[in-house]
Chains A and B, each alone.
Chain A
Amino acid sequence: MSQTVETISSEICYHCGEDCAEETIHYDDKAFCCNGCRSAYQLLDESGLCSYYDLDANPGINLKNTKHRARFDYLEDDEVIERIAEFRDKNRLSLSLYIPNIHCTSCVWLLENLQKLDSGVLQSSVNFLKRELSLLIDTDSTSLRDVVEQLVTIGYEPEIRLDKLDSKSESSHQNRSLWLKMGVAGFAFGNIMLFSFPDYLDTTGSGLGGNFHIFFGALNILLAIPVLVYSSSDYLRSAFAAVKQGGVNLDVPISIGIVALFSRSVYEIVTMTGTGYMDSFTGLIFFLLIGKLVQQKTFHRLSFDRDYRSYLPIAVNVLDTQGREYSLSLDKLEPGQTLRLRNQELVPCDSTLQSEQAFLDYSFITGESEPISVSQGEKVFAGGRLIGRSAQLITEEKVTNSYLTKLWNHEAFQNNDKELKLTTFADRISPYFTMGVLGIAFASGFYWLQTSGMDSALSVFTAVLIIACPCALALSTPFTLGSALNVLSLNGLFVKNHLLIENLSKASAVVFDKTGTLTNSEASNIEFIGMTLTEDERNLVGTAAGNSIHPLSRKIADITSSTKELKPDTFHEVPGKGIFATIAGKSICMGSRHFISEQTTLYQDQIPEPDFIGSTVHLTIDNEYLGYFGIKTGLRSGISDLLNRLKETLRLFLISGDNEGQRQEFETYFSTNGSLLFNKKPEEKLDFITDLQKEGESVIMVGDGLNDAGALKKSDFGIALADDVSSFAPACDAILEGDSLNKLLSFIQFSQNSMKIIIASFVLSLLYNTVGLGFAITGHLSPLVAAVLMPLSSISVMVFTFFTTRYFAHKGGLAIWK
C-alpha cells in the first residue's frame, strides 16, 4: 500500500474519471486525482463495496473542489431532527434527503448498500428521478449526523435547506389514483370488447342463443358502472363545476358524451333493442385518462417553486454569552444574536459585521460579479456568501424581514398561480363547440321526429351527442404539448407545465440578466499583458497569489500554472488594494497602480495606465514593472450569435444589478436607446417587466439569481438559467441548462410550430367528428362504427402529434432522440 505523489501526468482518476492535472496519488495500483477521491475509494474498498466501480466507469464524485466541508452540528439538535424527520420514535428515525450528486447506476447501488458502511442504517432506497434517498436509521447504534457525514465523505452531500423544516415530504400519491382509474377503465374496456365481439360478427342475428344476449348485456353494464362512477368522475365533476359557475370548458361536451353513451347503452340493453356502446364508452375513458397521464408528466428532480427558503441553510452557528458555539435553526434566530460564519457559508439575515474584515459574494443576490469587502460595523445583507476567513456577525433582523426576503412579499408573489390563468385553445373554443353539437343534435332530432317518430328521433339525438364527444379534441393539446415538452427537455429546457409553452410561443420581447446569465464567471478571460514571464517568475506569482483569498488573486493563481510550491517568507495583504510578498529572496508586489507606488520604489507615473475594459492587476518583481493581468468576464459560448439573430424578430433588453463596467461590450448587441439597464435592484427589475407588459409586450425573462426572482415571476415566461439543473434556481416557469442558452431562438420557433400542430390536430379530430356525424344524422351509427371510429380518431391524433412535433424539432435543429 504505497502512496506516491507525482507532479505531472495525464492519468485518469479511478474514482471520479477526471484528468489528474495537478497531481496524481497512486494507491493500490490505481491513480487518484486528489486525497478526497483516494479516501473515498479506500473506504469503499474496506467495506467490500467496490462493485461501485464495476457498474459504471469512474462513477465517483470529484472531491477536489469540496475544500470547505459543510458543518452538520445542527443534526445533533433534537428539535431539528424532529422537524425534518418523516417518522421518529425511541430508536427509529426515517427521513428522506435530497442529494443532487446522484447521477448514475453506481450511485444508486452505493447508496442502497449504505448499511455496509454504517450498520446503523436499516434501510436505504433511492428515487433516482427525484435524487432522493430515503433512510431508516437505528438511532441506538448511529446518529443522523454520522450518517450524513459518512455520505459527505463518499461525495454525496445532502442538501438540507430551510424549506425542509416542517415540510413533510409531499406525498407522491396524487398519481396513484390516476393509475387506478386507468386500470379500472382498461380492465372494463378489454373485457367489454371481448363480450361485444360476438355481436359484431353476428350480422344475421341468429348465431347467439337468446340468453347470451342478456348475459353479455348484463355483464357489460356491471363492468361499465365502475368506469362511470370512478374512472370518469374527474371529468363529470369538472364539467359540473364549470356549468355551475356559468362557464363551459372542454369537459362539458366530454361529459355530455359520456352521459349520452352510458344512458343510451343501458337503455338499449335493458329494452333489448341493441347491444349498446359500452366498449366505445370505456375505450373513450381509457384514452382520455392516458392523455391525462401524459399531461401530468413532471420533472421530479427539478423544483420550480423555490423561494429564499430553499436557498438558505436550515441552521446556523450562534455564539452564546460565554462564546460557546451552538447551532440554531434559522426560524428561531432573533435580532441581536452573534453568528459565526465560515468560508462559503451564507449570511442568513441582515446583520452587521463584528470581525475586522470580510469578503462577501453577492452575485446571486444583486448580480454584482465581483465579491466586495466589508469592514467592521458595516451592514451585511442576507444571502451573501462569505469568502475566505471566518467572521462573526450580529443579527439585525429576523430572517423573514431581511432585504432579500422582502422581495417575496411583493404582490407578484401573492397571486402565484400563473398556470391557473392559462386556458388552452381547446377550452376557448369549447363553448362554441358545445353549442354547435347541441344545435346539430336538436336539429336532427327534430327532423327525425317529424319524419319517423319519437324513437328514431331520440336515437339520432343521442347518436349525435355520442359521436361528437370531443375525445380526440381533448387529447390533441396534451399530446402535442407533452411531446413538445419531451423534445425541449432533451435539448436542455425543462418547462414546468405544458400549457406554458403557449406563452413561450407568443414572446415578443426578451429580457436578459447579465451576471451568470450572459456572462459566465468560469469562462472569464484572464490574460497577462506585458513581458513574458519565466517559469521561476510564474512560480513566484502563483505562490504569492495563492496565499491571498481575494477572488482576483485566485484567478491569477489558476492561470500562472506554477509548477513548484514555494513558501513565502513574508506575506502582506491590504484588502481591496493588493498583496506584497517576499519569496526566495525576491519581493513580489501585485495590485492597483496606487498600491504598487506605495509599496515599491516605482512612482505612479512609471506604471502605464492600461487600455483595458475590465479589472486589472499590476505586477512588479524586485521593483521592476513586468505588466498587468487583465480580467474580463467572459460571454457564454454562442451568445453573440444568439443575440444577433434574436434581434431580428424580438425586442431585446439587458437588465443587470451590476455596474456599467461592461456597457460598451454589450452595446453592439442591444439597441442603444434604453435597452441596456445597469445598477437595477430586484424590485426595479420586476417593475421594468411590468412596464413592458403594459406596453403590450409578451416578455421572456432569462435570469439566474435570486435578484431576478421577481422579474422571472412577473414575466410571461421566466427562464432560470442553471449550469447544474439540480442546483438552486429561483422560482420560474422553466429551467434552462447553461450550455443550451444559444438554442433559445430555436426553442421559441419550435413552440410556435407546436401551436400550429395543435390547430392541425384539431382539424384532424374535427374531420373524424364530421364523418361520425354523417353516420349519426342519417341514423346509421351502429355500435360497431362507434367502436371503430372512437379509438381510431384518438390513436391517429396521438400518432400525428408525435411525428409532427419531432419533424418540426428536427427541422429546427433540435435533438429528438437521446
Chain B
Amino acid sequence: MEVIYMLIGFSLLVALIFLGLFFWAVRSGQFDDQYTPSMRVLFDQKSSDKKTNNQKHRDE
C-alpha cells in the first residue's frame, strides 16, 4: 500500500503543473477576453498566394 505515497505525490505534482499553467494562462491575458477567440476559430488560415473564393469565381 505504501506505493500510494508515491502515486499521490505524482498526482499532486501533475495537478500543480496544471495549476501553474492556469496561472500562466490568466496572467497572459487569456481570460480577459472570453468572446473574441470564439470568433477567431471561424477564420480560415489561407496562405496569401492562394486565391480567395472570389477571385476563383471570377476566373472560371
- Evaluate contact between A179 and B31: CB separation under 8 angstroms: yes
B15 touches A187 (CB 8 A): yes
A53 touches B54 (CB 8 A): yes
Bound-state CA distance A404–B15 (Å) is 59
The answer to whether the Cβ of A817 comes within 8 Å of any Cβ in the partner chain is no
A108 touches B22 (CB 8 A): no
A187: which B residues are within 8 A, CB to CB? 15, 18-19, 22
Q: In the complex, which residues of chain A have a beta carbon less than 8 angstroms from the beta carbon of B51?
A: 48
Tell me which residues across on chain B come within 8 A of A184, comparing CB atoms.
19
Contact (Cβ within 8 A) B26 A48: no
Contact B19 A50 (CB under 8 A): no
The chain A residue sitting closest to B1, CB to CB, is A209
- Residues 25-56 of chain B: 1 if any A CB is under 8 Å from the residue's CB, otherwise 0? 01100011101100110111010100111110
B42 contacts A176, CB within 8 Å? Answer: no
Query: Given the interface contacts A183-B19, A187-B19, does A126 sit within 8 Å of B36 by beta carbon?
Result: yes
What is the CB-to-nearest-CB distance from A210 to chain B, in angstroms, rounded to a whole number?
A: 12
Q: A54 near B: Cβ within 8 Å?
A: yes
With an 8 Å Cβ cutoff, the count of chain A residues facing the other chain is 37
Q: A651 → chain B, closest Cβ, in Å?
A: 41
**Main DSSP-derived SS at the B contact region:** helix
Whether B22 contacts A48 by the Cβ 8 Å rule is no
Shortest distance from the beta carbon of A486 to any chain B beta carbon, whole Å: 15
Q: Is the CB of B36 within 8 A of A128?
A: yes
Measured CA separation A45–B57 after assembly (Å)? 13
Q: Give chain B residues whose Cβ lies under 8 Å from the Cβ of A191.
A: 12, 15
Q: Are B32 and A50 in contact (CB under 8 A)?
A: no
Check B54–A50 contact: CB distance below 8 A. Answer: yes
Please name 9 pairs of A and B residues whose Cβ atoms are closer than 8 Å in the assembled complex, sorted by A: A54-B52, A112-B43, A127-B32, A128-B33, A175-B31, A183-B23, A187-B18, A190-B15, A219-B8
Do residues A48 and B39 form an inter-chain contact, with CB atoms below 8 A?
Answer: no
Is the Cβ of A48 less than 8 Å from the Cβ of B31? no
* Most A-side CB within 10 Å, residue of B39, B46, B53: B39
The answer on a CB contact under 8 Å between A55 and B43 is yes
| CB-based contact A105/B46 at 8 Å | no
* Chain A residues within an 8 Å CB radius of B39: 105, 108-109, 128
Q: Is A172 an interface residue (CB 8 A)?
A: yes
Inter-chain contact B5/A215, CB cutoff 8 Å = yes
Contact for B4 among A28, A112, A212, CB less than 8 A: A212
Say yes or no: A175 contacts B32, CB within 8 Å: yes
Question: What 1/0 mask marks residues of chain A from 264 to 304 whose CB sits below 8 Å from any chain B CB?
Answer: 00000000000000000000000000000000000000000
Q: Within the assembled complex, what's the spacing in Å between the Cα atoms of A549 and B20?
A: 64
Q: Which residues of B contact A130 (CB under 8 A)?
A: 33
Residues of A within 8 A of B4 (CB): 212
Q: Report if A51 contacts B (CB, 8 A).
A: yes
Select from chain B the residue with minimum beta-carbon distance to A48. Answer: B52
State how many angstroms separate the Cβ of B5 from the closest Cβ of chain A: 7
Contact B33 A50 (CB under 8 A): no
Contacts A48-B48, A183-B23 given; 4 further ones with Cβ under 8 A? A51-B46, A108-B40, A180-B23, A180-B26
Within the complex, what minimum Cβ distance (angstroms) separates B36 from chain A? 4
Residues of B within 8 A of A126 (CB): 36
Residues of the A chain whose Cβ atoms lie less than 8 Å from the Cβ of B27:
176
Closest chain A residue to B18, Cβ basis: A187
A129 contacts chain B at the CB level, 8 A cutoff: yes
Q: With A28-B58, A108-B36 as given contacts, are A50 and B12 in contact (CB-CB < 8 Å)?
A: no
Closest 9 CB pairs of A and B: A50-B54, A128-B36, A50-B52, A105-B39, A183-B22, A179-B26, A127-B33, A187-B19, A129-B35
Complex: A48 Cα to B51 Cα, angstroms: 8
Q: What DSSP secondary structure best describes chain A's contact surface?
A: helix
Tell me the complex Cα distance, A128–B31, Å: 14
Number of contacts between A and B (CB, 8 Å)? 80
The reply to whether B26 and A172 contact each other, CB–CB distance below 8 Å, is no
**What are the residues of chain A within 8 A of B43 when measuring CB–CB?**
51, 55, 109, 112
* A-chain residues with CB within 8 Å of residue B8 when the two chains form the complex: 195, 215, 219
The reply to whether A219 and B31 contact each other, CB–CB distance below 8 Å, is no
Compute how far the CA of A184 lies from the CA of B4 in the bound complex, rounded to whole angstroms: 24
Task: Tell me which residues across on chain A come within 8 A of B31, comparing CB atoms.
Answer: 175-176, 179
Interface residues of B (CB under 8 A from A): 1, 4-5, 8, 12, 15, 18-19, 22-23, 26-27, 31-33, 35-36, 39-40, 42-44, 46, 48, 51-55, 58
User: Which one of A105, A126, A173, A175 has the greatest number of beta carbons of chain B within 10 Å?
Assistant: A105
A54 to B53, Cβ gap below 8 A? yes
Within 8 A of B (CB), among A319-357: none
A74-106 to B contact mask, C-beta < 8 Å, 1/0:
000000000000000000000000000000010
**What separation, in Å, do the CA atoms of A266 and B23 have in the docked complex?**
27
Known: A108-B39, A187-B19, A212-B4. A51 touches B32 (CB 8 A): no
- Chain A residues with Cβ under 8 A from B58's Cβ? 28-29
Whether B12 and A219, one on each chain, are in contact in the complex, defined by CB atoms closer than 8 angstroms, is yes
Q: Are A50 and B15 in contact (CB under 8 A)?
A: no
- Give the distance in Å from the alpha carbon of A55 to the alpha carbon of B54 in the complex: 12
A635 to B26, CA, bound (A): 49
Does A183 lie within 8 Å of B52, measured CB to CB? Answer: no
Instruction: Report how far A28 CA is from B55 CA in the complex, Å.
Output: 10
Closest to B28 in A: A176
Closest to B54 in A: A50
Contact indicator per residue, chain A 108-151, by CB within 8 Å of chain B (1) or not (0): 11001000100000000111111000000000000000000000
CB distance from A96 to the nearest CB of B (A): 12
Least distance between B39 CB and chain A CB atoms (Å)? 5
CA distance A348 to B4 in the complex (A): 74
Partner of A51, one of B1, B15, B40, B53: B53
The answer for the CA separation of A784 and B8 in the assembled complex, in Å, is: 22
Q: A212–B12 Cα gap in the complex (Å)?
A: 16
Within the complex, the shortest CB–CB distance from A378 to chain B, in Å, comes to 49
Flag A164-194 by CB within 8 Å of B: 1 or 0 each: 0000000011011001100110010011000
Complex CA gap A190/B15 in Å reads 10
Does the CB pair A128–B35 fall under 8 Å?
yes
- For residue B46, which residue of chain A has the nearest CB? A51
Give complex CA distance A338, B22 in Å: 57
- Residues of chain B within 8 A (CB-CB) of A179 are 26, 31
User: Roughly how many angstroms separate A45 CA and B52 CA in the complex, as a whole number?
Assistant: 9
Contact A176 B15 (CB under 8 A): no
A482 to B14, CA, bound (A): 35
Chain B residue nearest to A216 (CB atoms) is B8
Considering the complex, give the chain A residue whose CB is closest to the CB of B51: A48
B-chain residues with CB within 8 Å of residue A209 when the two chains form the complex: 1
A127 to B37, CA, bound (A): 9
**A108: which B residues are within 8 A, CB to CB?**
36, 39-40
Cβ contact within 8 Å between A176 and B35: no
Cross-chain contact of B26 among A29, A45, A183, A212 (Cβ < 8 A): A183
Closest chain A CB from B55 CB (angstroms): 7
B33 partner residues in chain A, CB cutoff 8 A: 127-130
Bound-state Cα–Cα, A129 to B37, Å: 11
Q: What's the least CB distance linking A15 to chain B, in Å? A: 12
**Which B residues lie within 8 Å of A195 (CB)?**
8
CB pair B35–A50 under 8 Å, yes or no, is: no
Chain A residues within 8 Å of B48, by CB: 48, 116
- Residues of chain B within 8 A of A190, CB atoms compared: 15
Bound-complex Cα distance A109 to B12 (A): 41
A625 to B4, CA, bound (A): 103
Cβ contacts A22-61/B at 8 Å (1 or 0 each): 0000001100000000000000010011110111000000
What residues of B have a CB within 8 angstroms of the CB of A180 in the complex? Answer: 22-23, 26
Q: Interface centre among B15, B51, B55, by most A CB within 10 Å?
A: B15
Interface string of A485-508 (1 = CB under 8 A from B): 000000000000000000000000
